[in-house]
Amino acid sequence: MLCCHRLTLPTLIIALSGCVIPVGPEWTDPQGNVSPTIYSANPPIGSNLVMDAGAGETLVFEVVLADQNTQDNLYARWIIDYPPWDDGVSGVALRVSQPGENQIQRAPIRYAPTCSDDAISHHSSNHRLLLAVSDRPFAFDPPFSKSSPPDGIQPGNFSVEGSWQFGLVCP
């Protein structure tokens, strides 16, 4: 009888020690405000791309943003031929606002430059696309200038930027 108890006790201890049930992740915001990030970009940030609109080619920029502050709204501006701001050349092509909704990663945002886009100057076929993202509303609204830039933020706010070069040949 004693031998049975000696075998049962170690078996019971081993069985109980392997019975750990993992708890799912708990998302909590960090202690302070942190900068948003560009989680992914397609095409990759820094790419140099060319498209021929006359041949029916299209180019779509798709970016997934992230912010550890899950309650922060994110504000994004797709800015053409900037910096520096040049009234005859630069333009804000698209503005996007994304609610926090308790998510670190946000839904993808997209921009597709076209020849009919008013933000794109037709004086050149080479352009720079800048995506500016802030965790608070941008400091300036149109009209923009060198002293009130489209990617300007208030002190204490955080931002992140990514840029691409693209050629757009319009018929």
Residue-wise pLDDT for 57-78, tens only, equals: 889 999 999 999 999 999 999 9
Q: Is residue 93 part of a domain?
A: yes
Instruction: Please give the C-alpha separations between residue 124 and each of 79, 89, 163, in angstroms, as whole numbers.
Output: 16, 9, 18
Res. 24: pLDDT tops 80: no
Look at residue 156 and give its three-state secondary structure. coil
Full residue range of the structural domain in which residue 129 is found: 33-169
What is the residue whose two structure tokens read 């009234």? 87
Q: Is residue 11 part of a domain?
A: no
Q: How confident is the model at residue 20 (pLDDT cuts 50, 70, 90)?
A: low
Percentage of the chain exceeding pLDDT 90: 64
Q: Is residue 72 part of a domain?
A: yes
Separation between Cα atoms, residue 83 and residue 96, nearest integer Å: 20
Q: Is residue 55 part of a domain?
A: yes
What is the residue whose two structure tokens read 């100057």? 121
Q: Is residue 8 part of a domain?
A: no
Nearest to 160, CA basis, from 139, 124, 133: 133
Q: How confident is the model at residue 25 (pLDDT cuts 50, 70, 90)?
A: low
Query: Domain tally for the chain?
Result: 1
